[in-house]
Each structure stands twice: as structure tokens, then as C-alpha cells.
Amino acid sequence: MATPVIRNLVGFFLLAGLGLIACRHQPLLPNGGATISANCSTDTVYFVNDVLPLLQSNCAMSGCHDNGTAADGVRMTNYANILEEVKPGNANDSKLYKVIIRTDNERMPPPPRAAFTSAQKALIQKWINQGAKNNMCLSRCDTNSFTYAGAVKPLIDTKCVGCHSPGNLGGGIDLSTYTGTRSVALNGKLYGSIAQLSGFSPMPKNSAKLSTCEIRQAQRWIQAGVLNN
Ligand code: HEC
């Protein structure tokens, strides 16, 4: 009577064990296999901190370069996919860089969406020329720095503006200006969405949740009165 049960149990543990072994080869961490440095060097552009959020929020949307649409076979969704459009060490010969610096209608993100700013283009160029590494660093965010210009705006420009500016107004919300950001900060939606509280659409849409430090910075900026500082 007990034998089939035991056999099932043995089979279950065998399969579970195999499953664990198989899973070891999958990237288990949210950083997608990136090399992590404790300290952030000011000379280095980091893929996970700087480049991936820009490409996810400006390119990897439905209808464009998410995994589902993959327009032109291009997916701006993770390191491996992005690397297909890059020649490490040579920005000028990389499709990713060439399309973002075009000035005609073939420019990416395409009109009427805003082009990347020159600082953002330079960042992507530098990342490619530094070898297009899958890297990230940990110490850049400081919860004691929470001004609009010093913390909130750079965060929003990197992770949100691609879907929240006049060329592409996700949810009718414009985060490209202080005024637009102020109104969602005051009505509670900014914090609700990034802290991913129930009753709010979790943001940034289709990307990793902001770090605890980033959420805390935004929260402190809001609590201190949503100043244009
Ligand atoms: C890939 C596109 C995309 C990105 C990136 C994105 N959003 Fe959104 N956002 C949307 C869309 C679309 C909506 C409308 C609601 C929905 O579809 O979920 C929205 C809605 C919102 C709302 C309203 C939420 C609510 O519950 O009413 C806020 C606030 C918001 N976004 C803030 C942000 C912030 C802050 C970031 C960056 C940290 C961000 N979004 C990044 C597309 C995006």
C-alpha cells in the first residue's frame, strides 16, 4: 500500500532536485547577471543603472521594441537583446547609437516622441565605447539627497519620461516638467505608483521596481513639500 506513495515521493524529490540543478543556470537575481560594484565610479557608465532604464522606458513599449512587438526584430528589453544592436567598444559602428543620433524621420525614438537629450546620447555612446558591459553599481543613491533637480528629475528623466512626455502621454500624465510632476506628487499617484501600492498602476511600467532608496528619495521630496529645488 505504502510503496507507490514512497515511490511517488522519491520521484518528486528527484524531479525537484533536478529542477534546482537546472535553475542554477538561470539568472536568479534581478540584476540579470550583471557584474556588481559596491561603489559607483563617476567615470563609468553602468548598464543596469544608466542604460537599461533609458532603453526600457523609451523603446521597449508595446508597438515598438518590447518582446511582443519586436519591430524590425529589435528588442530593447534586456542585456542580451540590446547587445545585438551594439558593437562593444565602437559606438559609431553600433546600430543602437546610429539610430539615436539621426536627425531625420528614421531617428529613434521616432517623432513625435522626443529624441534622447544630448546628455543621454553621450551616455549611451560612452557605455558602448567602454565595452558595452553588463555592469551595475550600488552606492549612487543617497536618501539624504532628495531635491527635485538633484534626485527626482534625473530619476524621472531616466526611468519615466519616455512614456510620460507630450509625444507619448501615458495615462495623460506629463512628467517632463516640474508642474506635471508636482500634480501627481500632490494627488498621491506618484508615490502610490512607484511604491506599487494597491489601487495604483505599478510604475515604471514593464520595468523593474525602483530601488528602496529611489522610492525613499521621492517620498522625502514629497513630504518636504514638493519643492522646485
Ligand atoms: C513603458 C511606459 C511607461 C513607463 C516607463 C512609465 N510609465 Fe507611468 N504610466 C504609463 C501608462 C500607459 C499609464 C496609464 C495607466 C496604465 O496603463 O497602467 C501610466 C500611469 C502612471 C501614473 C498614474 C498611476 C495611477 O494609478 O493612476 C503615474 C503616477 C505614473 N505612471 C508615473 C510613472 C513614473 C513615476 C514612472 C517612472 C518611475 C513611470 N510612470 C514610468 C506608462 C509608463
- Examine the pLDDT at 58 and tell me if it is beyond 70: yes
Q: Are 46 and 124 in contact (CB under 8 A)?
A: no
Q: What is the mean pLDDT of residues 198-203?
A: 98
Ligand 1 within 6 A of CB of 211? no
- CA–CA gap between residue 204 and residue 207 (Å, rounded): 6
Compute, in angstroms, the gap from residue 201 CA to the centroid of ligand 1: 7
The percent of residues in the chain predicted with pLDDT above 90, rounded, is 81
Q: What is the mean pLDDT of residues 29-58?
A: 89
User: Ligand 1 atom closest to Cα of 171?
Assistant: 14
Q: Are 91 and 128 in contact (CB under 8 A)?
A: yes
Q: What is the mean pLDDT of residues 79-108?
A: 97
Ligand 1 within 6 A of CB of 200? yes
- Examine the pLDDT at 196 and tell me if it is beyond 90: yes
Confidence tier at 84 by pLDDT (50, 70, 90): very high
Ligand 1 within 6 A of CB of 159? yes
- Which sign, positive or negative, has the C-alpha torsion 201, 207, 212, 217? negative
Q: What is the mean pLDDT of residues 129-136?
A: 97
> What integer pLDDT is reported at residue 12 of this predicted model?
47
Average per-residue pLDDT for the chain: 88
Ligand 1 within 6 A of CB of 61? yes
Measured in Å, how far apart are the chain's first and last C-alpha atoms?
A: 75
> What integer pLDDT is reported at residue 170 of this predicted model?
95
139-148 core/surface letters (b: 16 or more CB in 10 A; e: else): ebbeeeebeb
